[in-house]
Amino acid sequence: MSIRGKAFIAGAYEHPRRKIPDRSVAQIHAEVAVGALADAGLSLGDVDGYFTVEPHGLGAITLAEYLGLNVSYIDSTLTGGSSYLVHVGHAAAAIAAGKCNVALITLGGHARPAPGMRFPSRAGGTPHGAFEEVYGVTTVNNYAMAARRHMYEFGTTSEQLAEIKVAASHHAQFNPHARLRDKVSVEEVLASPMVADPLHRLDCCVMTDGGGALVVVSPEIARTLDRSCVKVLGQGEAPKHTMNGRVDVTYTGAVWSGPKAFAEAGVTPADIDYASIYDSFTITVLETIEDLGFCEKGKGGSFVMDGGLISPTGRLPFNTDGGGLSSNHPVNQGGMTKVIEAVRQLRGEANPEVQVPDCEIALAHGSGGRISSRMGSSTLILGREDA
C-alpha cells in the first residue's frame, strides 16, 4: 500500500527555547503538542493517534495519559534521530488503513540528565556492548572514523566539510531562536578545537533542550481545516549495521531509505527544491547527500563547495533554520526539526532571507545511531497541498 497522498501534515510547532530548565520533559511534550494542534486548528480532543519516543516508564502510554488523549492507535518506535520521520510514515500508513484520522507526534526533553541522574551502562545490555563500549567508543570518534575513511577513499578535505557548517551558520543568523547565530568561515571552522580527528568542534552539532510536534491528518480532515497543509508523498526507512563484519563506513542507510521514498513519491533528486538533512556532524550531511543521489559517491565534497547548500541560490538549499549544527538538536534526536523546517519551506513560512522561491517539493532525512556501526535512516518526501 502506498501512502502517497493518503495523509497531510496540518500542524507543525518547534519549541522556541534551547534551554528549558524550568520545565519537565512531560511539560515540554505538552507545550509542543498544544502548539502544533493550534497551528492545525485542532485540539487535544481531536487526536485519535499518538506517536512519540519517551523511554521512561510506559513511554507513549504515560504521555498519552498526561496529555489526556483518548486514542485508538499508538506508536513508540525508536530509531534514534530518524524516529520522527519514521513516525510520519507510520502515521500516514495508519491513517490510510483507517486506524486513526488525527495523529499527533511529539518530541520533548533535555540535552543532559538532571543532576544526580546517571545513564545506565550499555556494555552489558546489548549484543554489541561487551565488544565495543568497553573499549571507549563514543559517538564523535565513531563519526570521525567515517570522515577519515571518506577522506582516504575519495580525497574529501576538512575544508569541504567546513563548507557545510558555513552554510548552516549562514542560515542560522536569520533564525532568532538558533542556539548559535554567528556566521562562521571555513577558516574559523578549521581553527576550532579538534574533538576527534578529523572533526573539529564546529563540525559537531549543538546539544540543546527543546522539542517539537507534528499533526498528521487524513485528506478528509485536511479539507475541513482553514490551514495550508503539506502532502505526504513518500517515505522510506532502513537500518544499516556492521553486516557481520563487512563494514563500510563511507555510506549511510540513506542508500536504501532514499530510493524507497523517491519511488513512492514518484520524483527524483532533481525534483527536490529544498532538503532538510540530519546534521549530527558535517560528515553525516556529506555522505547523506551522496547516498540520496544528489551527486555521485565520493563527489559530495565538490558538491557542497561554493555555497552549494546556501539558500536560496545554492544547488541544494539545506537546513535553512541552521539545523543541528547551529540551531537546535533537541534530546540528541534532531529528526523532528528536519520535518518542521521542510513544512515551513513548503508553506512559504521559512525566514524570508532563506525561503526557497516557489518551493514545491521538499525532502527531510533523519539518521539515528552511529554511522560507523549501526544506525537507522528514514527519508520523507513532502509536497505542497496541490502536489
- Average pLDDT, whole number, for the chain? 93
pLDDT tens digits along 301-331: 999 999 999 999 999 999 999 999 999 998 8
Among the listed residues 90, 122, 87, the one whose alpha carbon sits nearest the alpha carbon of residue 107: 87
Query: Are residues 221 and 359 located together in one domain of the fold?
Result: no
**Please, which pLDDT band fits residue 54 given cuts at 50, 70 and 90?**
confident
pLDDT given for residue 56 in this prediction: 64
Would you say residue 84 lies in a domain? yes
Dist. CA 61–CA 335, nearest whole Å: 22
pLDDT given for residue 118 in this prediction: 41
Classify residue 183 by burial, with Cβ atoms within 10 Å: 0-12, 13-18, 19+. Answer: middle
Quote the domain boundaries for residue 223.
8-111+209-229
Would you say residue 120 lies in a domain? no
**Please, which pLDDT band fits residue 126 given cuts at 50, 70 and 90?**
confident
- Is the confidence at residue 92, as pLDDT, over 90? yes
Among the listed residues 256, 241, 287, 246, the one whose alpha carbon sits nearest the alpha carbon of residue 148: 287
Q: Count of residues for the chain?
A: 387
Among the listed residues 331, 361, 339, 365, the one whose alpha carbon sits nearest the alpha carbon of residue 19: 331
Among the listed residues 117, 154, 126, the one whose alpha carbon sits nearest the alpha carbon of residue 283: 154
256 is written with which cell numbers? 536504501
Could you give phi then psi for residue 68, rounded to 5 degrees?
A: 75, 30
Q: How many domains would you assign to the chain?
A: 2
Dist. CA 217–CA 11, nearest whole Å: 9
Q: Which residue has the cell 576538512?
A: 158
**Please, which pLDDT band fits residue 119 given cuts at 50, 70 and 90?**
very low
pLDDT given for residue 139 in this prediction: 87
129 is written with which cell numbers? 556492548
Query: Are residues 30 and 104 located together in one domain of the fold?
Result: yes
Query: Are residues 79 and 197 located together in one domain of the fold?
Result: no
Neighbours of 298 (CB within 10 A): 14
- Is the confidence at residue 357, as pLDDT, over 50? yes
Q: What is the mean pLDDT of residues 252-277?
A: 98
Query: Are residues 240 and 96 located together in one domain of the fold?
Result: no
pLDDT given for residue 121 in this prediction: 47
Would you say residue 380 lies in a domain? yes
Bridge partner list, 107: 212
pLDDT given for residue 5 in this prediction: 95
- SS (HEC) of the chain: CCCCCCCEEEEEEECCCCCCCCCCHHHHHHHHHHHHHHHHCCCHHHCCEEEECCCCCCCHHHHHHHHCCCCCEEECCCECECHHHHHHHHHHHHHHCCCCCEEEEEEEECCCCCCCCCCCCCCCCCCCHHHHHHHCCCHHHHHHHHHHHHHHHHCCCHHHHHHHHHHHHHHHCCCCCCCCCCCCCHHHHHHCCEEECCEEHHHECCCECEEEEEEEECHHHHHHCCCCCEEEEEEEEEEECCHHHCCCCCCCCHHHHHHHHHHHHCCCHHHCCEEEECCCEHHHHHHHHHHCCCCCCCCHHHHCCCCCCCCCCCCCCECCCCHHHHCCCECCCCHHHHHHHHHHHHHCCCCHHHCCCCCCEEEEEEEEECCCCCEEEEEEEEEECCC
Query: Are residues 85 and 181 located together in one domain of the fold?
Result: no
Degrees to nearest 5, angle at CA 285 with 147 and 244: 55
Query: Are residues 163 and 47 located together in one domain of the fold?
Result: no
Q: What is the mean pLDDT of residues 144-171?
A: 97
Q: What is the mean pLDDT of residues 116-133?
A: 59
Query: Which one has a higher pLDDT value, 194 or 25?
Result: 194
Torsion of CA 342, 167, 80, 53, to 10 degrees: -50
Query: Are residues 90 and 153 located together in one domain of the fold?
Result: no
Would you say residue 3 lies in a domain? no
Would you say residue 311 lies in a domain? yes
Query: Are residues 288 and 352 located together in one domain of the fold?
Result: yes
Query: Are residues 224 and 298 located together in one domain of the fold?
Result: no
- 323: CATH: 3.40.47.10
Dist. CA 26–CA 109, nearest whole Å: 8
pLDDT given for residue 386 in this prediction: 86
Per-range mean pLDDT, top range of 53-67, 81-95, 229-243, 360-374: 81-95
Share above pLDDT 90 across residues of the chain, in percent, rounded to a whole number = 82
pLDDT given for residue 117 in this prediction: 38
Would you say residue 281 lies in a domain? yes
Query: Are residues 258 and 216 located together in one domain of the fold?
Result: no
Query: Which one has a higher pLDDT value, 330 or 298?
Result: 298
Could you give phi then psi for residue 273, rounded to 5 degrees?
A: -90, -30
pLDDT given for residue 57 in this prediction: 62
pLDDT given for residue 136 in this prediction: 76
Residue 61 Cα distances to 65, 77, 137, 195, angstroms: 6, 13, 33, 39
Would you say residue 254 lies in a domain? yes
pLDDT given for residue 120 in this prediction: 44
Would you say residue 269 lies in a domain? yes
3 is written with which cell numbers? 501512502
Query: Are residues 247 and 213 located together in one domain of the fold?
Result: no
19 is written with which cell numbers? 534551554
Query: Which of 229, 263, 290 is where one domain is finished?
Result: 229
Share above pLDDT 70 across residues of the chain, in percent, rounded to a whole number = 95
- What is the model's pTM? 0.94
pLDDT tens digits along 105-114: 999 988 865 4
Could you give phi then psi for residue 140, rounded to 5 degrees?
A: -70, -40
Query: Which of 177, 194, 229 is where one domain is finished?
Result: 229
CB 343 within 8 A of CB 188: no
Dist. CA 317–CA 294, nearest whole Å: 12
pLDDT given for residue 200 in this prediction: 98
Query: Are residues 217 and 300 located together in one domain of the fold?
Result: no
- Is the confidence at residue 124, as pLDDT, over 60? no
